[in-house]
């Protein structure tokens, strides 16, 4: 009897609904979004490479053999070596760890900030909404790259600084408006009014009734911002404001040795560029697939958000001539 009561409890039913929701989302992506599946595989490879970089890389990221400097790809060094004799494959593998940190850390910080600010702005409205939105407008008036370069020039380059700057600036920018719009669309629904009528506090209403119902746009924001964070970190490292050497950031590898030795050793620019392009493309495809599946305004299907849904009108049995 206790087992039947446990399975029939509201909490257990809610958990089963959440599990079935995620399973149905995964199955729809597998069936309808082949590019999203490829993107998911690339993201999974990035995570596994970053986690197990010490076991995958055949050499240390800064192991130098001057006798092997600028060697082309061979059996010993499958992607060649740089101007200091460092194995390029090992440095790209360790660079995946930096991209993993940035791609997960910065969007997570941005997501927390944008969710908190957007929920406050969209739920309470009024003067608080006006002040928050004018502040967001002021931030968005300035080019993001200029703000990041200015802040990092003050704080100094480094991985932690890059993650914090990307996360904070992303969390107080345009993502706030997306969360605010989602909250405002739910704020006036009947179940929110019912929760208020039975004495639910504002914090409880936000956490239990509004936040679970805006998880779809939040997940989409997180996945789509991962690629932008990795690309922005590569841009900052390319300009000398990101992860400093000798850390093997993909953008830094393209900036330093690749530019100097591009004609003599083109593989120094080829492999880091391909790794960066493949990861950003995979994340964008995964984000597009999730958006096509989770956004109710989009039809989804095999061609994604570009598919047009055709509604056929019933043909009359008899037509007037």
Query: What tens digit of pLDDT does each residue of 128-173 get?
Result: 889 998 998 888 888 888 888 889 988 888 899 999 999 999 888 8
Banded model confidence at residue 287, pLDDT cuts 50, 70, 90: confident
Position 318 pLDDT exceeds 90:
no
Contact in structure between 114 and 198 (CB atoms under 8 Å)? no
Cα(181)–Cα(125) distance, integer angstroms:
11
Mean pLDDT of 256-269: 85
Mean pLDDT is highest, among 26-30, 167-171, 191-195, 252-256, for 167-171
Where is pLDDT greater, at 299 or 261? 261
What's the pLDDT at 310? 41
Q: How many CB atoms lie within 10 A of CB 205?
A: 18
Q: Crossing angle, helix 126-140 and helix 88-124, to 10 degrees?
A: 150
Of 15-29, 106-120, 198-212, 276-290, the one with minimum mean pLDDT is 15-29
Of 89-93, 261-265, 315-319, the one with minimum mean pLDDT is 315-319
What's the pLDDT at 101? 93
Domains, the chain, in order of start with CATH, read 33-306 (1.10.3720.10)
Banded model confidence at residue 279, pLDDT cuts 50, 70, 90: very high
Does this model's pTM top 0.75? yes
Cα(120)–Cα(304) distance, integer angstroms:
33
Q: DSSP letter at 305?
A: G
Tell me the H-state helices in 67-125.
Answer: 88-124
Token pair belonging to 10 = 């509201």
Percent of the chain with pLDDT over 90: 25
Contact in structure between 186 and 125 (CB atoms under 8 Å)? no
Banded model confidence at residue 13, pLDDT cuts 50, 70, 90: very low
Per-residue DSSP letters for 34-68? HHHHHHHHHHHHHHHHHHTHHHH-SS-TT---GGG
Q: How many CB atoms lie within 10 A of CB 167?
A: 23
Q: How many CB atoms lie within 10 A of CB 55?
A: 7
Q: Which residues pair with 87 in a beta bridge?
A: 81
């Amino acid at each position: 009897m206790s087992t039947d009561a446990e399975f029939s409890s509201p909490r257990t039913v809610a958990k089963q609904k959440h599990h079935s929701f995620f399973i149905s989302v995964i199955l729809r992506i597998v069936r309808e979004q082949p590019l999203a599946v490829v993107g998911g595989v690339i993201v999974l490879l990035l995570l596994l490479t970053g986690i197990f970089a010490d076991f995958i890389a055949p050499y240390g990221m800064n192991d130098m053999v001057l006798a092997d400097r600028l060697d082309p790809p061979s059996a010993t060094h499958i992607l060649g070596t740089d101007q200091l004799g460092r194995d390029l494959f090992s440095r790209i593998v360790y660079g995946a760890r930096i991209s993993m940190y940035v791609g997960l850390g910065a969007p997570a910080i941005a997501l927390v900030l944008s969710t908190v600010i957007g929920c406050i702005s969209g739920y309470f409205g009024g003067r608080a909404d006006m002040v928050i939105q004018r502040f967001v407008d002021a931030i968005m008036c300035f080019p993001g790259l200029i703000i990041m370069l200015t802040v990092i020039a003050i704080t100094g380059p480094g991985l932690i600084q890059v993650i914090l700057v990307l996360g904070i600036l992303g969390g107080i920018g345009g993502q706030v408006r997306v969360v605010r719009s989602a909250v405002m669309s739910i704020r006036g629904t009947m179940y929110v009014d019912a929760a208020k009528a039975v004495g639910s506090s504002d914090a409880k209403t936000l956490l239990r009734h509004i936040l679970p119902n805006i998880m779809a746009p939040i997940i989409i924001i997180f996945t789509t911002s991962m690629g932008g964070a990795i690309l922005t970190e590569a841009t900052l490292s390319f300009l000398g404001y990101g992860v400093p050497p000798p850390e093997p950031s993909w953008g830094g590898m393209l900036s330093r040795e690749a530019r100097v030795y591009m004609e003599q050793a083109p593989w120094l620019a080829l492999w880091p560029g391909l790794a960066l392009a493949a990861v950003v493309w995979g994340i964008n495809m995964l984000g597009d697939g999730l958006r096509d599946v989770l956004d109710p305004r989009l039809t989804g299907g095999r061609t994604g958000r570009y598919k047009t849904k055709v509604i056929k009108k019933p043909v009359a049995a008899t037509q007037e001539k």
